[in-house]
Amino acid sequence: MEEILKALELKQQLDNLRPLEKEQEARIMQKFRLDWNYHSNNLEGNSLTYGETKALILFGVTAQGKPLKDHFEVTGHNEAINWVLEILQGDRPLNESFIRDVHKLLLKESYEVDAQTPDGKPTKKKVIVGDYKKMPNHVLTKTGEMFYFATPEETPSKMGDLMAWYNEKIAEADINPILLAAEFHYKFIRIHPFDDGNGRTARILMNFILMKFGYPPVIIKTEDKENYYAVLRLADADNLEPFIDYIAQNLNRSLEIMIAGAKGESIEEPDDIDKEIALLEKRLHSLGQSSKIGKSRNSVLFTIDQVIKKINDRTLDKNSKLSKFYLKLHSVLKISTNPIIDLDFDNIKTMNVENFKAISIKILFQKFSLVGYEDFDFEMLFYFKLLPTYYEIHANGVFVGMKPYGIKLTDLEVDEIINPELKRHKDFIEQKIAEKEKEL
């Protein structure tokens, strides 16, 4: 498979750069650990943002108004990761005792959760950390069918079979760690041995196997969870290859980050929608910035060229993978003095721009083109209010920041403005896909 071959090539590049300097390796692993903690917990419904997760792990700062349980999940997950990283330095084997210890660290202490009896009645069940399940944890699929995991009675023997399979595979001379780790992840999920925490445990065990063979951990991003669950469902239907390919694809991203770090390059990912703070909540307040430039023809032209056009062009570029599914794409520039006139960036410069009170960009995605879907459109609106000493930026009706005239936006600031709109577009299409799937 192409992604696995690419991973093997990237792994060779990484090995050629080893050994890494201690500071380099620590910086890279901190990034992986923060991303891993945030995304793996958020996939399971944890409410902490990336910024809140980072503040909790690095500085012990709790998020005001967020459930205590969510904080425990993050700190427990971080303790489990740190423990696994320590174990990698020794020779402790992966066995059932190891798995139970991971689960204990992950969930910290026993608790009760809502459950259903086999005949569908609501009940409570006690989650005992480190113990295999005491009640069935089958799930109801979207089609109304029951999907069955191992029963509590079957679980001990199936876990024994899983470990026997793993020990047989790991002893093979031509072992492929990527295949082994991905298949172990799925086999573990298929058993679902614990009453809670199976997904997080599976991802930790998969990454333990990968790191044991010198690979970085795989980070399944929360914004990609529908693809993750989709390939798991395909595996449930006896088609494991897409899941293995998906794991290899995400492993390649981690390998590329680690190679960049080993070369002393930036390991940040500016396109991550959830980076640093939930970007929907982030603002571009210009604290500490000042400018003596007021509103004038030159300062407004500068804003048009270095801010408004930059946001327009970057939005079109970042939406290119989605815009190809529409028959028409329009970017409409309007001014407040005459909102019915559509302009372009060249002829707007010939006007008395110093008198403009506002400029807006409306990006229209028209006529979704896939056969079988209803004809629908999507639009993004960016609004720039031109005040006497500064300008305001609004996206989809939400204020996102202000800037003094004469100071252009950085690429990171531009991405922070448009990424929530990109996510809104992606979520909108996913909603349409979900509606279509219900009809099938």
Looking at per-residue confidence, does 146 or 134 come out higher? 134
Q: Hey, what CATH class is 2-262 in?
A: mainly alpha
Give the DSSP letter string of 368-422. E-STTS----EEEEEEEEE-SSEEEEEETTEEEEEEETT-PPPHHHHHHHHHHHH
Residue 181: closest CA among 211, 206, 145, 201: 206
Mean pLDDT on 120-149: 84
Residues contacting residue 246 through CB under 8 Å, at least 6 positions apart? 227, 228, 231
Res. 34 pLDDT band, cuts 50 70 90: very high
Burial class (CB in 10 A: 0-12, 13-18, 19+), 406: middle
Q: What is each CA distance from 142 to 233, 261, 435, in whole angstroms?
A: 11, 42, 12
Q: Is the pLDDT of residue 214 over 60?
A: yes
Question: How many whole angstroms separate alpha carbon 331 and alpha carbon 418?
Answer: 15
Most confident among 156-160, 266-270, 325-329, 367-371 (mean pLDDT)? 156-160
Question: Strand, coil or helix: what is 99?
Answer: helix
Query: Does residue 358 register a pLDDT over 70?
Result: yes
* Alpha-carbon gap, residue 103 to 96, rounded angstroms: 11
**Average pLDDT, stretch 140-153?**
84
Pair of tokens at residue 248: 């290899």
Residue 280: what pLDDT? 37
pLDDT for the residue numbered 178: 98
Most confident of the following: 51-55, 148-152, 276-280: 148-152
Residue 331 has pLDDT above 70, yes or no: yes
pLDDT of 291 reads 54
**Which tokens in the block code for residue 195?**
């009453």
First vs last Cα of the chain: how many Å apart?
30
What pLDDT score does 85 carry?
95
pLDDT of the residue at 343: 60
Give the confidence band of 285 by pLDDT, cuts at 50, 70, 90.
very low
* 227 CB burial (10 A radius; 0-12, 13-18, 19+): middle
The pLDDT of residue 342 is above 70 = no
- Per-residue model confidence as pLDDT tens digits over 387-401: 998 899 999 888 888
C-alpha distances out from residue 4 to 29, 87, 177, 219, 397, Å: 22, 26, 10, 16, 44
* pTM, two decimal places: 0.64
* Distance, CA of 365 to CA of 65 (rounded, Å): 38
For residues 32 and 43, what is the distance between their CA atoms, to the nearest angstrom? Answer: 16
β-strand partners of 360: 334, 383
Separation of alpha carbons 185 and 40, rounded Å: 14
Q: Is the pLDDT of residue 162 over 80?
A: yes
The residues spanned by each domain of the chain are 2-262, 297-439
Joined tokens for residue 160: 């024994």
C-alpha–C-alpha distance, residues 129 and 121, integer Å: 24
154 phi and psi angles, rounded to 5 deg: -80, -25
Using alpha carbons only, give the angle 245, 248, 250 rounded to the nearest 5 degrees. Answer: 110
pLDDT at 174 > cutoff 90: yes
User: Cβ atoms within 10 A of the Cβ of 311, count?
Assistant: 22
**Tens of pLDDT along 100-124?**
999 999 998 888 877 776 666 788 8
Backbone angles phi, psi at 139, to 5 degrees: -125, 150
Alpha-carbon gap, residue 204 to 37, rounded angstroms: 10
pLDDT mean across residues, the chain = 87
Give me the residue label for tokens 């876990």.
Answer: 159
For the CA atoms of 287, 288, 289, 290, the dihedral, rounded to the nearest 10 degrees, stands at 120
Task: Find the DSSP H helices in 44-67.
Answer: 50-59
Stretch 204-210: mean pLDDT, rounded?
A: 98
Backbone angles phi, psi at 357, to 5 degrees: -95, -25
DSSP 306: I
How large is the average pLDDT for residues 266-276?
Answer: 59
Token pair 């696995």: residue: 4
Please count the helices (runs of H) and the strands (runs of E) in the chain. Answer: 14, 9
Q: What are phi and psi of 374, to 5 degrees?
A: -65, 155
What does the block give as tokens for 185? 């992840």
**DSSP assignment, residue 21?**
P
Question: Cβ-count burial of 411 within 10 angstroms (0-12 exposed, 13-18 middle, 19+ buried)?
Answer: exposed
CB of 309 closer than 8 Å to CB of 420:
no
